[in-house]
Structure 1
Amino acid sequence: MGQPLNVGVVGTGAISAQYFRTIDRLPQLRLAAVADLDPARAAEAVAPYPGTPVRSVAELMADPGVDVVLNLTVPAAHAEVALLAIAAGKDVYCEKPLAATSADAARVLRAAEEAGVRVGCAPDTVLGTGTQTARKAVDDGLIGRPVAATATMVTPGHERWHPNPDFYYVPGGGPLLDMGPYYITSLVTLLGPVATVVGAASRPRAKRTIGSGPRRGEEIPVSVDTHVTGVLVHASGALSTLVMSFDAAATRAPHIEVHGERGSLVVPNPNHFDGLVQVAGVGDEDWRDLPESAGYVDGGRGIGLADLAVTPAGEEPRAGGTLAYHVLDVMESLLASAHSGAAVPVASTCERPAPVALRTL
């Protein structure tokens, strides 16, 4: 297997604990250092991992013992931190989205290509057994030629549980930029890249009220659309209908369904690594469960980093920057369509990532 990939983490907010647990249990990865604008928060975050040094961002970037920078900052800082890592000659793996704008994401990819380093990006949930089992069913022709899909995510809003939800309601946030990467990355994994989008969006409330923590009761402004819907026209010809909302109480719709000429699939929550895949063929009276048949077993946030560690030099990692850029481009194009009222071609494209055979890291 060789030496583990030494990971330096920038940003130790709530999501970092999930990454730390994955890094700690996988031999392909080693937690080398952490940095945060608040050193006390960084020290608290790595307290369960004694001996992990807390550095400044500059010190972490200069550390020759760090091979890859795991960028867990807020979306507005993703590009800045990624470019620092690339300038230091390090690979970089970002929490989603790759950047707050596709223009910034393109800068990151150009800089990485010039520097000869690799870029990876969440979500890596699509590498788990849930989405990968569904993908294998599609690739094996179980439902025939795919013609359509639906993807639905509705919630009343993250301010109900997050103590500092401000970033969800500024550019780079909102339901599309926050949760859309999971759903659209899954749709691209299942059906291939998107060529054109048609969208609509709304923003019913100008303010949100924080529901937990020390700021409970505080109102925060909303400067992004909080309900986004649209149609993604895949290059294959399949049509995906997308609904992403911070304005609805609940739904009974499946997270994702894929419909083919001979059958339909229920695909599990793309924010999770596993879950039940179900299929119904034409003429079937009921759905039947599919056994896990592909994907990383017992996945957790960070398996994309481990996949990057074993990806041969010169090959795009499955949770790679090109895919993440395309997904961001799709989301921006959808918002542009919503505001213009016209269909918008998606300028970028990507390859479907290589499938993951059923395995344990």
Structure 2
Amino acid sequence: MGHAVGIVGLGVISRAYLETLALSPAIEVVAVADLDAERARDVAASLPDAAARTVDELVADPRVQTVLNLTTPAAHAGVALAAIAAGKDVFGEKPLTATLVEAEAVMRAAAERGVRVGCAPDTVLGTGVQTARDAVTRGLIGRPVAASATWVAPGHEAWHPAPDFYYRAGGGPLLDMGPYYLTSLVHLLGPVRAVQGAASRTRDTRRIATGPRAGEVIDVEIATHVTGILEHVDGALSTVVMSFDGAGTGAAPIEVHGESGSLALPDPNWFDGVVRHRAAASDHGGDDWVDLPASAGYQEGSRGVGLIDFVGGAARASGDLALHVLEVMTTLLASAESGERRAVSSRPAVPTLVPLTAAAQWRAAEAG
């Protein structure tokens, strides 16, 4: 029997998790809960041994060892704290919580209760980011000096049938997409010690394009374009652009530049993709980028592999790392508002490199 998990929140992202967890004997979903009770019953009926519960019933269920928290950001803290109070480990979707104060409360409560906290994104455990990290660790580009992370899109109202929360506190392009990019940067270059940012909001309303609410206008309460500079503890500088205000970008999602070479990474919102390397002119006979073979990471990764990693004991998608990334993002937004450089206080341990692990191997892993 696998590690018993209860899922709270059965929206769009839950489908991806359920598909992955169904492949692993390490996980057994025993309970599900959602504000929509009918949805919870439907999902429970599709699983071998799951019961539909209210949130209170799920966190109190003695069978549940870990609560998988897939609610919207505003509900992350409440669900996590309830689960922790009941003595459950918690693994949640990003961001860890909607605010830094809530995140600190969650981590403090977990430490006091003696339970563990994990948090997405787990995409950074795939072969894309991990191969690049392996290249950095092996010295392929020399000492890292700089990086860039870029994500530009029109906004999630173009495809999401209920995009309201993306434009409220806890949403926005940085808090929504930033975790993929900033978590990757921490894996590659280490924690961040200070930030400086700028932000803007181009429109006060957005129009939903799809679904039953198509045509409905919603209010925008947060910045929709954020840019900033991150100072890493080892001296490297990263520049970040996250935006709901553009049609798209041709920039590499992440680039890392060292004294003797550069790396171009695939989209960290996905698990795999090709990492490209270019040596410095003094070390290379031409200007071509060279594709690197996958050398680290979970192959054919999918959302939920971080939970499998978590229950197996590695916990590379840790709450401490998620707290740090949230502090970096909220401090960057505060810096954008004040116009001042701001320090970042948390210093998480950088998770260990994921060895190159075949899909059949991680899917067959047992719970620790």
**TM-score, reference length from structure 1:** 0.97
Letter in 1 for 2:307: L
Q: How does 1:285-296 map to 2 (within 5 A)?
A: 285-296=287-298
Q: Separation in 1 of the partners of 2:3 and 2:130?
A: 25
CA contact (8 A) 1:7 1:70 kept: yes
1:297, distance to aligned residue in structure 2 (A): 1.1
1:285, distance to aligned residue in structure 2 (A): 1.8
CA contact (8 A) 2:32 2:43 kept: no
Letter in 2 for 1:306: I
Q: Separation in 2 of the partners of 1:67 and 1:208?
A: 41
1:4, distance to aligned residue in structure 2 (A): 2.0
Q: 2:339 aligns with which of 338, 341, 346?
A: 341
Q: Separation in 2 of the partners of 1:38 and 1:243?
A: 36
Structure 1: any 5+ residue segments left out of the alignment? none
Cross-structure match for 2:32: 34
Cross-structure match for 1:308: 310
Q: How does 1:19-58 map to 2 (within 5 A)?
A: 19-58=17-56
Q: Separation in 2 of the partners of 1:194 and 1:166?
A: 30
1:26, distance to aligned residue in structure 2 (A): 1.1
Q: Which moved more, 1:12-21 or 1:59-68?
A: 59-68
Q: How does 1:91-240 map to 2 (within 5 A)?
A: 91-240=89-238
Q: Separation in 1 of the partners of 2:193 and 2:57?
A: 42
Letter in 2 for 1:167: F
Q: Which moved more, 1:348-357 or 1:76-85?
A: 348-357
Listed one character per residue, the Cα deviations across residues 215-234 of structure 1 (whole Å, up to 9, x for unaligned) are 11100000000000010000
Q: Separation in 1 of the partners of 2:140 and 2:152?
A: 29
Cross-structure match for 1:246: 244
1:39, distance to aligned residue in structure 2 (A): 1.1
Q: Which moved more, 1:27-36 or 1:329-338?
A: 27-36
CA contact (8 A) 2:31 2:44 kept: no
Q: Which moved more, 1:303-312 or 1:75-84?
A: 303-312
Letter in 2 for 1:162: H
Cross-structure match for 2:7: 9
CA contact (8 A) 1:230 1:334 kept: yes
The SS at the match of 2:196 is strand
Q: 1:87 aligns with which of 64, 85, 88?
A: 85
Matched positions, count: 355
Root-mean-square deviation (CA), in Å?
1.0
The SS at the match of 2:317 is coil
Letter in 2 for 1:107: A
Cross-structure match for 1:280: 278
1:50, distance to aligned residue in structure 2 (A): 4.4
CA contact (8 A) 2:142 2:260 kept: yes
Q: Separation in 2 of the partners of 1:225 and 1:46?
A: 38
Letter in 2 for 1:137: A
Q: Separation in 2 of the partners of 1:143 and 1:309?
A: 34
Cross-structure match for 2:365: none
1:298, distance to aligned residue in structure 2 (A): 1.4
Q: Which moved more, 1:40-49 or 1:151-160?
A: 40-49
Q: 1:269 aligns with which of 267, 270, 280?
A: 267
Q: How does 1:324-335 map to 2 (within 5 A)?
A: 324-335=322-333
Letter in 2 for 1:300: S
Cross-structure match for 1:320: 318
1:46, distance to aligned residue in structure 2 (A): 4.4
Q: Separation in 2 of the partners of 1:306 and 1:91?
A: 13
Listed one character per residue, the Cα deviations across residues 77-113 of structure 1 (whole Å, up to 9, x for unaligned) are 1000000000110000010000000110000000000
Letter in 2 for 1:84: A
The SS at the match of 1:172 is coil
Letter in 1 for 2:214: R
CA contact (8 A) 2:29 2:49 kept: no
1:347, distance to aligned residue in structure 2 (A): 1.7
Identity of aligned residues (%): 61
CA contact (8 A) 1:17 1:45 kept: no
Q: Separation in 2 of the partners of 1:114 and 1:221?
A: 39
CA contact (8 A) 1:193 1:349 kept: yes
Q: Separation in 2 of the partners of 1:94 and 1:355?
A: 21
The SS at the match of 1:15 is helix
Listed one character per residue, the Cα deviations across residues 132-183 of structure 1 (whole Å, up to 9, x for unaligned) are 0000000000000000000000000000110100000000000000000000
